[in-house]
Amino acid sequence: MARFKYTETVYNYTFTPPSVISEIEFQSYKQMLKANPNANIFKETNVKKKNERIYFLLIVGIICFLVGMIALFSSEDTNDAPGWAFPLIFVSIFFVLHPIVNTGILRSSINENRADTERSKYYTDLKSLIINSSTYPEFSIKYKAKYGGYVYR
């Protein structure tokens, strides 16, 4: 019996908080946030938007499959089924199979979304630490308590 062998590539995206920022960076961010408290201290990415295509294909495939099956089974005889039911089911299988067969792509996108969420949370927390600290040594101690690492002395 023939066996199919394939390699599934799953990219493992992770986010590791960097070591504490320097005093110069702290002062720069502090001045920027004093001028505009709503400013972002990091560049937003479009990771979620990029990966939405995969989820969209999966959801559209499932919906098309369900609509096709309902149309197929709503008629008393498969010969009486609407003409579009079979093609819809056939096409929906490709929409569902694409993310499932390419599970490496699907799992990689989940890992990438998780890492981007962690990155966004880190920078939001960093912004809060900067705003709530009046001096760099105070910031450094709070940062160490939260993330570990270097403490200014």
Q: 69 in a domain, yes or no? A: yes
1-51 residue pLDDT tens: 555 554 556 677 787 877 788 889 899 989 989 888 888 887 777 666 667
Take residue 110 and report the two structure tokens written for it.
Answer: 């989940």
Range(s) of the domain holding residue 75 = 45-101
Q: 64 in a domain, yes or no? A: yes
Helices (H), 1-132: 23-35, 47-74, 85-101, 103-132
130-141 residue pLDDT tens: 999 989 999 988
With a cut of 50, say whether residue 153 has pLDDT above it. Answer: no
With a pLDDT cut of 70, the percent of the chain lying above it is: 78
Q: Which of 67, 70, 65, 118 is nearest to 93 (CA)?
A: 65
Q: 97 in a domain, yes or no? A: yes
Q: What is the mean pLDDT of residues 123-147?
A: 88
User: How many domains does the chain contain in total?
Assistant: 1
Which of these ranges, 71-75, 110-114, 147-151, has the smallest mean pLDDT? 147-151
Q: 60 in a domain, yes or no? A: yes
Q: Which of 94, 60, 90 is nearest to 72 (CA)?
A: 90
